[in-house]
Amino acid sequence: MPENRRGKLRLDMNESPVGCSPRVRAVLRRLDAQALSMYPEKGNAAQRMAPFFGLRADEMVLAGGIDDALRLLSDVFLERGRIALIVEPTFPMYRFYAGQREARICALRYDREMQFPLGDVLRVLRAVSGAPSVFFLANPNNPTGSLLPKKALAQILDAAAHTLVVVDEAYFEFSGVTVLPWIRRRRNLVVTRTFSKAAGLAGLRIGCIFAHREVARVLRFAQAPFPIGIAPLAAAETALRDRTFTRRAAAQILRGRKILEDGLCALGIRCFPSAASFVLADFGARGAEVTHRLARRGILIRDLSASLGRAGWARITAGTPAQMRRLLAELEKILGGNFSPRANRA
Ligand SMILES: *Cc1c(COP(=O)(O)O)cnc(C)c1O
């Protein structure tokens, strides 16, 4: 993972460029010696947090971010001889944790226009023998930004008679599309959410798994006794209470995304329609150079040429309108000016 990113304009890891609620920072400052000396009370926190999602505490499992949630799901549902289904390009940790469990990975792919291969997915899920144990599906997907409509998700869940479908809604606050209420009637559905993106708390590591209470019970049983610290618990609960902040932060980032999309288009750079807080852009042959030259100007974006198998693709996290204008001004200089491999080396 990249480090030494402090002080830069960080558009490479989909963190929130807006930051977190001031109320969260106030709550963290108020954590006193007694609070810090106690083991965290996760059950009470879940009792207070679940209603914000319209659910009960027994349908919720708190985890150290979605990363930790994925590890927990893999621990419980995958092992050697089992199959994990993914559709790539997607969030790389699905492959990572499934691989750690020595599960076999069935990887389908988005097509060149980043269309989701729904027919192939349904075929794999309906296979008479060798159905996957788990299907990890980010919605919206990272890095494509694409969003599957609920109708397609219903078809997937109907087809997944032997498969646990993990719908990773890390970017829900930007897409507005969720299948969370379905967990009550669909035991093969798990939904993950995080406080790392719209709530701006990636540094505290907290997220949640939502599932039918029977599934949630099994997951909780496989957790460490105190999996989440008191600071992330207090911060997450406060972030839920300060919904206005999160809503405004998401709206600001969506305004930034529009400026970014329009600006890239004006520069002749293609980007795919996004339902999340980032865009996937195609810089063509100039991709690696663009990423390097932006980095030298203190702006980080994520070059994805290697993972997408196509040179020149980069993912850019949307920031505030002002941050996007700064990025676009630099891009204009790089793309419009003395743009050649030799100039880059100088
Ligand atoms: C960023 C991201 C995550 C990671 O979330 P954490 O809660 O910070 O671990 C999970 N899934 C997707 C699709 C992401 O883009």
pLDDT tier at 3, thresholds 50, 70, 90: confident
Of 11, 196, 206, best ligand 1 pocket probe by most atoms within 8 Å of the beta carbon: 196
Contact 108, 84 (CB under 8 A): no
Burial class (CB in 10 A: 0-12, 13-18, 19+), 228: buried
Out of 223, 241, 259, a domain closes at: 241
The set of long-range contacts for 211-218, using a CB threshold of 8 Å and a minimum separation of 24, is: 211/59, 211/61, 211/183, 212/59, 212/183, 212/184, 212/186, 212/187, 213/56, 213/58, 213/59, 214/187, 215/164, 215/187, 215/190, 216/58, 216/59, 216/60, 216/61, 217/58, 218/76
Among the candidates 183, 210, 241, a domain finishes at 241
Q: Given ligand 1 and candidates 87, 142, 193, which is best to mutate, with the most ligand atoms within 8 Å of its CB? A: 142
Question: Residues 302, 178: one domain?
Answer: no
* pLDDT above 70 as % of the chain: 97
Tell whether 46 is covered by a domain: yes
Query: Is any ligand 1 atom within 6 A of the Cβ of residue 175?
Result: no
Residue 23 in tokens: 């109320």
172-220 confidence digits (pLDDT tens): 999 999 999 999 999 999 999 999 999 999 999 999 999 999 999 999 9
209 plus 293 within the same structural domain: no
Taking residue 110's Cβ as centre, other Cβ atoms within 10 Å add up to: 18
Ligand 1 pocket residue status of 139, Cβ below 6 Å = no
Do 231 and 263 lie in one domain? The reply is no
- Pull the structure tokens for residue 115: 């269309």
> Which atom of ligand 1 has the smallest separation from the CA of 141?
13
Cα–Cα–Cα angle for 309, 314, 319, nearest 5°? Answer: 155
**Is the pLDDT confidence value at 42 over 90?**
no
- Residue 97 Cβ < 6 Å to ligand 1: no
> Quick one: tokens of 3?
């480090």
Domain boundary among 192, 216, 241: 241
Predicted confidence at residue 337, as pLDDT, reads 56
Q: Please check whether residue 345 lies inside any domain of the structure.
A: no
Total domains in the fold of the chain: 2
Phi, psi of 144 (to 5 degrees): -80, -25
Residues 224 and 84 in one domain: yes
- For the entire predicted model, the pTM comes to 0.95
Question: Are residues 260 and 135 located together in one domain of the fold?
Answer: no
pLDDT tens-digit series, residues 102-114: 999 999 999 888 8
Q: Does 228 map to a domain?
A: yes
Domain that holds residue 165: 22-241
For ligand 1, whether the C-beta of 66 sits within 6 Å is yes
Selected residue with higher pLDDT from 285 and 160:
160
Mean pLDDT of the chain: 94
